[in-house]
Amino acid sequence: MSEVWNKSARTTSAEGSVSVRVPYENGRIFAFAVLQEFDQSDRFIQDIMADLDARHSLSSADRSLALDVAVGVVRRSRTLDVVIQSRITRPRHKVEPDLWRVLRIGAYQLLFSRTPDHAAVDSTVDLCRLLDHPRWTGFVNGVLRGIGRLLTDAPATGPAVTSLPTSHGQWRSLNEAILPDPRTQRMQYYADAFSLPQTIAQRWTSRLSEAELTSACFHTIDPPGTTLRVNSMRADPNAVLQSLIDAGCKASAGKIFGSIQLEQSPRLETLPGYADGLWSVQDEAAMSASLLLAPQPGESILDLCAAPGGKTTHLAELSGDKATIVACDVTHGRLQRIRENSARLQLTSIQPMEVPKDGRDLPAGPFDAVLVDVPCSNSGVLNRRPEARWRFDQNGLEELVVLQTRLLLQACELVRPGGRVVYSTCSMEPEENRGVVDAVLMALRDFRLDRERQHHPGQPADGAYQALLIRSVRSFVDEPQNQL
């Protein structure tokens, strides 16, 4: 792992990459260390941030800058690379990895952040010196000033070779045609302009309407919003909303009753109502899964893939904390988060249960209702999980479908006749959604699809899919079931 250093303690690794030691000097060097670790490992960017942040003290302003730059560079890396490459003659493999990382940090601030252009250039040149590479300064200065000359104040209204999407449906006009022509290279344009891997760009451009495609793509590059779900057991939504407004938050009622939208994302534990368990953080698309299951007081309910517990606690609240909810997961640490969330929300109906990864030793049931929120590609929440786009591939998708199908079959086996199952993903991909449901319905003829919901990213919340399956009261004993 990279360690940030000061001028009295600086080293270079055997491979030539920067090795840094404490303390951090500013947010940009923190961001550099996070991005270096991300590029050299398979860890999630938020986990790296939390690990480094716990060992170093930055001001809130520097920490916010570091988070914006690190997450933004990961989210927009393909677009940044296209822009950077357009300003230099040497191929990327001829540029040192750490130097390219510095160029990405500078280019991100020029193109997509609120940093003034001169500050973006000067601070990135200073970063070269902090990293003990003064020989980079001239090259970095020249490349970034070249990028600055690409930018104009002219309006742009949609896809074009000189039109760069920024955020929230806005486009920025460029002085040169550096992007593919969306009329003849539609898939390549959306991949480069919205920083998507070829696989996702090909999938989405082949099946989404223009409006759906634009909305979904902007959703992947917009910083995620924060939505609160009011704990119906302990608070009135209007009273919670007013308390947040009185505390200076820019807040408004959401689309779902009991949800509240925050325009900014402050430290949540400092907001009124957090310590008292009056609300949780949950996107409206995720809320829809528990609402579809419609848990009732007195029911026995299984949440098969429960951690970190957002949907589990919602089930408890919807049932008046009077159901019996078994919350399963494969990791002890993740189950601890369910316990902590339940305690903060003062819910007593949730029973966490650790289960093995191979699916053995599940609770016996039968249950009145089962929620199975399966591991998925996360293609509906690329704004929240910036790494997911770069880890998406066909082989991984096929492996996920096998796991998802097994989990839904197990969920169906554990529900009583007449009971119900909700299958849930945060994916946009048909194979993970209706494809899994159809395969299970073919195998289990005593189930029917009652209804399904496809939430498109940005319309208005995250991308997600949910299907409600109902088991027949009678078993089909006369007809052998197909096996997958």
Angle between helices 60-75 and 97-112 (to 10 degrees): 100
HSE-up of residue 420 (Cα within 13 Å, Cβ side):
16
Q: Which ranges in 87-135 belong to alpha helices (H)?
A: 97-112, 117-130
Which of 79, 82, 120 shows the shortest CA–CA distance to 102? 120
Give me the amino acid identity at 89.
T
With 0-12 CB in 10 A as exposed, 13-18 as middle and 19+ as buried, what is 280? buried
The span from the CA of 119 to the CA of 110, in Å, is 9
Q: What is the DSSP string of 257-283?
A: TTEEEESS---GGGSTTTTTT-EEE--
Nearest to residue 407, comparing CAs of 430, 440, 450?
Answer: 440
Measured between alpha carbons, how far is 197 from 396 in angstroms, rounded to an integer? 14
The helix-helix angle for 284-293 and 310-318 (nearest 10°) equals 50
Which of the residues 217, 305, 412, 426 is marked catalytic?
426
Beta bridge partners of 353: 328
217 in active site? no
166-171: list long-range contacts, CB under 8 Å, 24+ apart.
166/111, 166/112, 167/112, 167/218, 167/221, 167/222, 167/223, 168/218, 168/222, 169/214, 169/218
Task: Answer yes or no: are the C-beta atoms of 80 and 150 closer than 8 Å.
Answer: no
Contact 372/347 with Cβ under 8 angstroms?
A: no
Cα separation, 307 vs 10, in Å, equals 41
The neighbouring-strand residues paired with 454 are 465
Residues of the chain by 3-state class (helix, strand, coil), percent to 5 = 45, 20, 40
Give me the active site residues, please: 426
